[in-house]
Amino acid sequence: MASLLTSPSTKPKPFFLSSPPRPLRTPPSLNLTGISLTHNQKLAPFKLPSLAFKAPKRDVAAAAAASETGEDYRRILLSDVMVKKKTDKAVWWEREWTSMDFGAVAVVVSMHLLSLLAPFQFNWRAVSVAFVLYIVTGLLGITLSFHRNLTHRSFKLPKWLEYLFAYCGAQALQGHPIDWVSTHRYHHQFCDSDKDPHSPLEGFWFSHMNWMFDTNTITQRVGEPNNVGDLEKQPFYQFLKTTYIWHPVALAAALYAMGGFPFIVWGMGVRIVWVYHITWLVNSACHVWGNQAWNTGDLSKNNWWVAALAFGEGWHNNHHAFEFSARHGLEWWQFDMTWYVVRFLQAIGLATEVKLPSEAQKQRMALTSDSS
């Protein structure tokens, strides 16, 4: 999702809005002795070779201690997460901007502006279209396809169905599958470290959306994408990469033909903005607010209200403990709509090799010896 438009094969020419870019500043090294990294040892059935190295996690407690003796850190509201204070408020404008950054800003802003017209273009048919597309692009496209199927290979689908669901994800306007999957794999590889593409340790809004508008910083942190060879070798995903932006345009044209401008406002603007934010809340809120059931060594948290909005993705600490698991809501009361769909597909023979954590794996990741 680093680019909402496309991912060119060559690096785009940079633009400067004021003075030349300054070197990327990273926080001082913090004490890591208080963090358990036992999640490096879990028995994940699917693990790409490029993800073998895990970056060290920052010690949040050390940051909190530092904040008591100085003014370098601040606490995110209603959270124990400490973030580095920004000392140069002009750096956002003075940094290097690329055409991809401008494109991402243009898409996100235009969708938000379009959604503001919703009260003036209201009708129940348009609302129904938005709701159906919320399910199709959000549940089937992003959470089931892009996340659990393509990123983590939690289960297998027949190729025709895998491609159909991936196409639904492309209609969410969050980037093509190769781009989205690469960014998310890097997030797990470097979670809540200096190389994480979107950690709240850089600030809540950075993890929520601002990270998407600074592609150079992402490249400096993790390098060029080299962790999606399984998708890059498939012509279908290369096709989506090169033609990505035209598919939402085609959907918008079809919606206009069916219901006029109200269908555009609700089926594109409102629906896309809604799916944007429920996806982004997994990156931001689920690393800030909630509770931890597993010893993952990062900031991931289980958040019930994000889970309700994002089809079960809010059980984020469960997910970081068992990245390979097709089921995120591991307790019977943890509502996980995506898992229910996967389970249905498994029951009718369409989803196979469905991965779940074993009891032994749960015991190894438990915060206490008697947890499950």
Q: Is residue 165 part of a domain?
A: yes
pLDDT band at 332 (very low <50, low <70, confident <90, very high): very high
Q: Is residue 175 part of a domain?
A: yes
pLDDT band at 84 (very low <50, low <70, confident <90, very high): confident
250 in the same domain as 214: yes
pLDDT band at 96 (very low <50, low <70, confident <90, very high): confident
Distance separating alpha carbons of residues 294 and 37, to the nearest angstrom? 11
286 in the same domain as 343: yes
For residue 37, how many C-alpha atoms fall within 13 Å in the half-sphere facing its CB? Answer: 15
Q: Is residue 6 part of a domain?
A: no
71 pLDDT more than 70: no
307 in the same domain as 186: yes
| pLDDT more than 90, % of the chain | 67
88 pLDDT more than 90: no
Q: Is residue 14 part of a domain?
A: no
Contacts of 98 (CB under 8 A, 6+ apart): 11, 12, 13, 14, 15, 215, 216
Q: Which of 94, 113, 146 is the last residue of a domain?
A: 94
57 pLDDT more than 80: no
Which helix (H) or strand (E) element contains residue 128? Answer: helix 124-133
pLDDT in tens, 116-163: 999 999 999 999 999 999 999 999 999 999 999 999 999 999 999 999
Q: What is the pLDDT of residue 273?
A: 98
pLDDT in tens, 334-368: 999 999 999 999 999 999 999 999 999 999 999 87
221 in the same domain as 88: no
| pLDDT more than 70, % of the chain | 77
pTM of the model: 0.82
Residue type, position 65, single letter: A
State the total domains in the chain. 2
pLDDT in tens, 256-299: 999 999 999 999 999 999 999 999 999 999 999 999 999 999 99
Q: Is residue 74 part of a domain?
A: yes
Q: Is residue 241 part of a domain?
A: yes
59 pLDDT more than 80: no
243 in the same domain as 135: yes
pLDDT band at 48 (very low <50, low <70, confident <90, very high): very low
Which tops the pLDDT comparison, 307 or 194?
A: 307
90 in the same domain as 124: no
113 in the same domain as 245: yes
Location of structure tokens 């530092």: 66
Of 361, 315, 342, 356, residue with least CA distance to 156: 342
Q: Is residue 244 part of a domain?
A: yes
- Residue 15 burial by Cβ neighbours in a 10 Å radius (0-12, 13-18, 19+): exposed
Q: Is residue 372 part of a domain?
A: no
Q: What is the pLDDT of residue 77?
A: 83
272 in the same domain as 193: yes
Which residues span the domain enclosing 179? Answer: 104-365
317 in the same domain as 229: yes
Q: What is the pLDDT of residue 219?
A: 85
358 in the same domain as 254: yes
222 in the same domain as 78: no
Mean pLDDT of the chain: 84
Which helix (H) or strand (E) element contains residue 221? Answer: helix 215-222
68 in the same domain as 153: no
96 strand-pairing partners: 16
